[in-house]
Structure formats: C-alpha cells, structure tokens
Amino acid sequence: MDRLWAIWRVAYIRVANKQRGCIFCELPSERKDFENLILLRSKYAFLMLNKFPYNPGHLMIAPYRHLGSLEFLKEEEVLDMWRLLKLSIRALKETMAPDGFNIGINVGKVAGAGFEGHVHVHVVPRWNGDTNFMPIIANAKVISESLESVYRELRKVIDEVKEEKA
C-alpha cells in the first residue's frame, strides 16, 4: 500500500467537528490579524485567508454581523463585501496570476456551509491544470504555498491599492 503524507491536514481534522462558536465573529474580535489570517478590515466586512484552503490564495469575505443568509444583509454590507470581492480578485491576479476564479456562497449546511450561521463569500483562484489525480486517487489536495507566504504577498498588494485610493 502506498502512503501519502499530508500532515498539515491533522490541524483541520482535530477541529472540524469540535468547532464551537463562529470564526467570523471570534477572529476579528481578537485583533490578531496576522495570526488569524485577516488581510483587511473595512467598515462592515472583512477579508481573510481560508486556514484550510482548497487552493493557495483561497479567500473568504464576511460581514461583521452574524447573519445566516444574504437576504438579511443591509445594503451597505452588501456593497462593502462587493468592494472586498473586487479587491480580492485584483490582489490575487497581481500576486498569483490565476487563470480564473470560483466565487461562491454556501447558504445552509446542505449547500456545504461549514459555518452556516454566518454568511460569507469564498474566492478560490484557479489555474489551468490545477486539478489532478491527487484528490481522486489519494483523497488529498496538494497546496503548493504556505499560508504565511500567501498572506504577505496579498497584504502587500492590498496595502498598495489602499494607498492608491487615499
């Protein structure tokens, strides 16, 4: 039997079914942005890296208010989240040059929402050829860049864009 070692996954496995509370409420309140992978805070929402990404650069955008679905968002929250989405795409294009994006919102557990009580948007960069045999044969996904490295690259571009608009 061949063995595939993906030891970084154990951190997710240990917390996946034990998660209490809401990361989208708790992490911003801690004010430890680097440790919690929060890239940018705006007035009504924030942008963060997914700690357990599908691909390098997998981002999430969430409002500060704990809401379970899009229809409960105020107009200013929607607009703020959309601005963060546009910024995310620009930053990912400049730092990682993806060929495309999967952008989605999972509403409800049946739709795949890991945190079904707090609506959030996923932004997943995609590259031609980024799908391969690993998820199918080995039930594992290969992530080729560290979270810290991706965070620093994206943060640099985000800070530059903020300065342009100032």
User: Alpha-carbon distance 128 to 141, whole Å?
Assistant: 16
From the candidates 58, 118, 120, 122, give the one annotated as an active-site residue: 120
Burial class (CB in 10 A: 0-12, 13-18, 19+), 49: buried
Element spanning 133, H or E: none
Q: If we measure between CA atoms, which residue out of 77, 75, 96, 89 comes closest to residue 24?
A: 77
The verdict on whether 58 is a catalytic residue reads no
User: Alpha-carbon distance 82 to 127, whole Å?
Assistant: 23
Beta-carbon contacts of 107 under 8 Å, excluding residues fewer than 6 positions away, are 68, 69, 70, 113, 116, 119
Burial class (CB in 10 A: 0-12, 13-18, 19+), 63: buried
12: its two tokens: 């997710």
**Catalytic site positions:** 120
